[in-house]
Amino acid sequence: MSIPAFGDNLITYLIIAALLFGIGFYGLVHRRTLIGMLIAGELILAGASLNFMAFNRFLAPDPTVGQIFTLFIMGIAAAEAAIALSIIIAVYRNFRTIDVDDIAELNG
């Protein structure tokens, strides 16, 4: 019995990152609440940082750059989650809902 060495191949990681990105994009369009859209955005960021780490492991001459970039993506994602959640709580206090179809005051 034999099995391909999946973990040692750049294309495998790129395909997984593309799959995470596609699922995240689908969720971002598909979800009807703000928290669901935030979760899908986190999936997109995870796909992007997985791409950076894969290129860092297989192609980069300096293998610290991708790790540092991924750490900064994590910091930005944490700040984005905190801001987005406080916006969501403020929206909930004003509208009593976080459904994106009901928050339509600017719709005219």
Question: Which residues inside 86-105 make contact with other proteins, applying CB under 8 A?
Answer: 86-94, 98-99, 101
Closest separation between CB of residue 96 and other proteins, Å? 9
Site for other proteins in 44-73 (CB under 8 A): 46, 50, 53-54, 56-65, 67-68, 70-72
For other proteins, give the closer residue by CB, 62 or 108. 62
Q: How far apart are CA 79 and CA 108, in angstroms?
A: 32
Q: How far apart are CA 47 and CA 44, in angstroms?
A: 5
By CB under 8 A, the count of residues binding other proteins is 79
For other proteins, give the closer residue by CB, 1 or 106. 1
Residue 86 region by backbone torsions, left for phi larger than 0, else alpha for psi between -120 and 50, else beta: alpha
Torsion of CA 79, 44, 7, 66, to 10 degrees: -50
The yes or no reply on residue 3 touching other proteins (CB under 8 A) is yes
